[in-house]
Amino acid sequence: MLGANALHRAENGSPDPTLLRIDLHEPFLHSQLDRPDDLPYQSSMDNERVSRRLSAILAADIVGYSRLMAEDESATLNALNRHRREVFDPCVSRHNGRIVKLMGDGALVEFLSVSNAVQCATEIQRTMADMDDAGGISLRIGVNLGDVILQDDDIFGDGVNVASRLEQLAQPGGVCVSSVVQESVGGRLGITFQDGGQVSVKNIDRALRVYHWHPQDAPPLPRGTVIPEKPHEPGYAIAVLPLDNMSGDPEQEYFSDGISEDIITDLSKVSGLTVIARNSSFAYKGRSIDLRVVGRELGVTHVLEGSVRRAGQRVRITAQLIDTKDGSHVWADRYDRDLTDIFAVQDEVTLEIVKALKVSLSSRERANIADVGTSNIEAHEDYMRMRGFLFFPGMNAEGWRKAVAYGERAIARDPGYADAYGMLALMHLLDYHNHWSGAPSEEAMQKADTLVRRSLELGPDNIWPNNAYAAISRWQGKLDEALPALDRAMAKSADYAMGWFTRGEIEIAQGKLDDAIEHLERAIRLDPSFRHQFMQFLAMAHFLKGSFETAALFLKERVFLVKDTDIGRAWLASALGHLSEVEEARQVWQEMLEINPTFDIRTRLARLTLTDPAHERLILQGLEKAGLLADS
């Protein structure tokens, strides 16, 4: 993905000679993205671990807990433990929540997706309503979307305070949500909230617009209606940390990184696992960190770590699979092999992880894992080197030329290497955007197109060729051709975060906004360290639905995470215009002009290829309401 300063300046006719960063973390290339100022987003406070982020918060409380305990303490504790074991905890896990803390009569849970938070809340209450014997346990639940401060394992801040007040306003057995939560989920979850009006609550300096839901008030389904069960995420989620290079030679870093990336790719082919994207896993490279913290930050149950030592034609790989709940070892092994056996070792590691977690593996998945695309070790090493440049944060013209040379050597060594052709095609797509070769853009695009078509001929079902074809088709304006290519790629790897992102981006252009929101939220789940990039497009989808409060919240988070984003501020100014926050809109617009004095909103909108003219008008109308359109 191209999202950094170099591309957005190139798009506006203002090349950046410093080429601060090309955020090509995956093979889809996108415009209008920027780099974060810091990853992960943390600051120091009293020497403790502190950070902030936008989260969905679920606050739950037991109705009449003190009375129940006074009447029968033992029976109440038994009923409460049963509820947590059979209802609450499994539901939170299914919807990717993190239980921050359990109090005697309540709980606080954090979600990165507001959809997951709402689905979890309503599922808990529906389940409790259907139970014949709940032991007198009844919950009130509040859900809010807002800023939270994370310190060690706890969370604080306005987002948490509002969620707690909403919980107190909920009916017994019901759910109360803030206006931004109601607006964010809309009708796409099939959940209808009742407007509770404006309310004033303790210690909150503004009135809250609240909405209520209760299972008893949900309208009965028409007779014969069959609700398709939405597939839940696999029970295990894993992050593969970059294997340490123990060779004593920094030049071998590409090799240890490459093996890590190959294992990530192989694991992502297993449907029984959720695999976190390379970008988020590699955010921990070179850092000494408690793996339980990694599990909490990435939302994973297990982490794979280890090392690679290469000496001549011999390779030693060590690997440990760690349970992030308690830091215990689930599996560990060491492999001393000839370099020619490296493909077999990678397969063994993947299969041992699957075996250790007792995940079923289909014959097709087993065959996909074994398919490395080449038997030529030297060609694969050149491919690894090229891929390393693709992911390198400081990519520039010199790096691009080296990467292309490695790619050309890989296909010379193995003319049937489909993945190498696909990645080389992406390199020329980079040249199309950045003009590193000095050739005209049309020539760079033609090279990319020729290479990707050869790639598809050699590997019509492979992940990389189809990823590359989707990216190139997107920039050629062939949106309807990009989506089938994504389908083919993700049939082999459903955990491809940038694939979900690209799908969401295309769906925004097509006006399929609910689908876009769902798929962008999936991308954030799979690549949480890259949510600063996804946030822009998630906000855009909500904006185009007319959910301006939600869009403004996401865009404020985007601006906080990426200080120099011009496009984020432009959309935020428009959202604020629609919300009649004119003074703030003008301030944000002025900040945007200081970042990019030549910014032209119409030029930037044209690049989105929005198919519905009303969507572009909606953006311009927001700026018009704030008196900013004449300045654009």
| Domain C-terminal end among 358, 378, 404 | 358
Q: Is residue 493 part of a domain?
A: no
Q: Which pLDDT belongs to residue 622?
A: 96
- For residue 442, pLDDT over 60 is answered with yes
Q: Which two tokens stand for residue 584?
A: 């703030």
Q: Which pLDDT belongs to residue 405?
A: 97
| Domain C-terminal end among 169, 189, 217 | 217
Name the CA radius of gyration of the chain, rounded: 25
What pLDDT digit, counting tens, does each position of 309-342 carry? Answer: 988 888 899 999 999 988 899 999 998 888 888 8
- For residue 122, pLDDT over 80 is answered with yes
Q: Which pLDDT belongs to residue 607?
A: 83
- For residue 392, pLDDT over 80 is answered with no
Q: Which pLDDT belongs to residue 393?
A: 64
Same domain, 204 and 244: no
Q: Is residue 203 part of a domain?
A: yes
DSSP code per residue over 227-257: -PPPPPPPSEEEEEPPPEE-SS-GGGHHHHH
Q: Which pLDDT belongs to residue 43?
A: 32
Average of per-residue pLDDT values in the chain = 85
Q: Is residue 325 part of a domain?
A: yes
Q: Which pLDDT belongs to residue 617?
A: 96
**Which of 120-129, 361-370, 443-452, 530-539 has the weakest average pLDDT?**
361-370
What pLDDT digit, counting tens, does each position of 466-492 carry? Answer: 989 999 998 888 988 999 999 999 988
Same domain, 142 and 250: no
Higher-pLDDT residue of 303, 112? 303
Q: What is the largest CA-CA distance in the chain?
A: 81
Same domain, 170 and 58: yes
Residue 605 CB-half CA count within 13 A: 20
Average pLDDT over residues 499-515: 92
Q: Is residue 437 part of a domain?
A: no
Same domain, 276 and 318: yes
| Whether the Cβ atoms of residue 322 and residue 284 lie closer than 8 Å to each other | no
What pLDDT digit, counting tens, does each position of 537-554 carry? Answer: 999 999 999 999 999 999
- For residue 3, pLDDT over 50 is answered with no
Same domain, 74 and 159: yes
Residue 98's H or E segment, with its range, is: strand 98-103
Q: Is residue 297 part of a domain?
A: yes
Same domain, 537 and 602: yes
State the virtual CA torsion across 116, 119, 120, 126 in degrees, nearest 10.
Answer: 180
pLDDT tier at 167, thresholds 50, 70, 90: very high
**Under 8 Å CB-to-CB from 390, ≥6 apart: which residues?**
24, 27, 403, 423, 426, 427
3-state secondary structure of 108: strand
Q: Which pLDDT belongs to residue 105?
A: 80
- For residue 52, pLDDT over 50 is answered with yes
pLDDT tier at 15, thresholds 50, 70, 90: very low
Q: How far is CA 488 from CA 427, 470, 472, 491, 541, in A?
A: 21, 10, 15, 5, 25
pLDDT tier at 94, thresholds 50, 70, 90: confident
Letter string b/e over residues 7-24, b meaning 16 or more CB atoms within 10 A of that residue's CB: bbbbbbeeeeeebebbbb
Q: What is the CATH number of the domain that holds 622?
A: 1.25.40.10
Residue 316's H or E segment, with its range, is: strand 314-323
**Domain residues for 108?**
48-217
In 3D space, the residue among 176, 156, 160, 308 whose CA is nearest the CA of residue 243 turns out to be: 308
- For residue 33, pLDDT over 90 is answered with no
What pLDDT digit, counting tens, does each position of 292-316 carry? Answer: 888 888 889 999 999 999 888 888 9
**Which of 46-50, 91-95, 96-100, 394-398 has the weakest average pLDDT?**
46-50
Same domain, 257 and 323: yes
- For residue 592, pLDDT over 80 is answered with yes
Q: Which pLDDT belongs to residue 222?
A: 54
Q: Which pLDDT belongs to residue 232?
A: 56
Q: Which pLDDT belongs to residue 235?
A: 75
**Which of 115-119, 370-374, 542-546 has the weakest average pLDDT?**
370-374
Q: Which pLDDT belongs to residue 31?
A: 35
Q: Is residue 312 part of a domain?
A: yes
Which amino acid, residue 31? Answer: S
Q: Which two tokens stand for residue 594?
A: 């200081």
What pLDDT digit, counting tens, does each position of 133-154 carry? Answer: 777 888 999 999 988 887 777 7
| Whether the Cβ atoms of residue 601 and residue 17 lie closer than 8 Å to each other | no
Q: Is residue 522 part of a domain?
A: yes
What pLDDT digit, counting tens, does each position of 551-584 carry? Answer: 999 999 999 988 889 999 999 999 999 999 999 9
Average pLDDT over residues 230-254: 82
Q: What is the CATH number of the domain that holds 114?
A: 3.30.70.1230
Q: Is residue 506 part of a domain?
A: no
Specify the number of domains making up the chain: 3
Q: Report the alpha-carbon distance of residue 627 to residue 630 in Å, rounded.
A: 7
Residue 103's H or E segment, with its range, is: strand 98-103
Same domain, 102 and 187: yes
Q: What is the CATH number of the domain that holds 244?
A: 3.40.50.10610
The pLDDT > 70 percentage for the chain reads 88
Same domain, 194 and 102: yes
What pLDDT digit, counting tens, does each position of 183-227 carry? Answer: 999 888 888 999 999 888 777 778 889 999 999 886 665 555 444
pLDDT tier at 57, thresholds 50, 70, 90: very high
DSSP code per residue over 368-422: HHH--S-S-HHHHHHHHHHHHHHH-TT--HHHHHHHHHHHHHHHHH-TT-HHHHH
10 Å Cβ neighbour count for 449? 18
Same domain, 310 and 181: no
What pLDDT digit, counting tens, does each position of 173-184 carry? Answer: 999 999 999 999
**Which of 163-167, 219-223, 608-612 has the weakest average pLDDT?**
219-223
Peptide bond into 27 cis (omega under 30): no
Same domain, 198 and 74: yes
- DSSP letter (8 states) at residue 85: I
Same domain, 246 and 198: no
pLDDT tier at 49, thresholds 50, 70, 90: very low
**What pTM was computed for the model?**
0.83
Average pLDDT over residues 348-365: 88
| Domain C-terminal end among 155, 188, 217 | 217
pLDDT tier at 415, thresholds 50, 70, 90: very high
- For residue 50, pLDDT over 60 is answered with no
Q: Which pLDDT belongs to residue 418?
A: 96
The pLDDT > 90 percentage for the chain reads 50
Q: Which pLDDT belongs to residue 1?
A: 32
Letter string b/e over residues 332-352, b meaning 16 or more CB atoms within 10 A of that residue's CB: eeebeeebeebbebbbbbbbe
Beta bridge partners of residue 197, listed in sequence order? 210
Q: Which pLDDT belongs to residue 137?
A: 83
Q: Which pLDDT belongs to residue 219?
A: 65
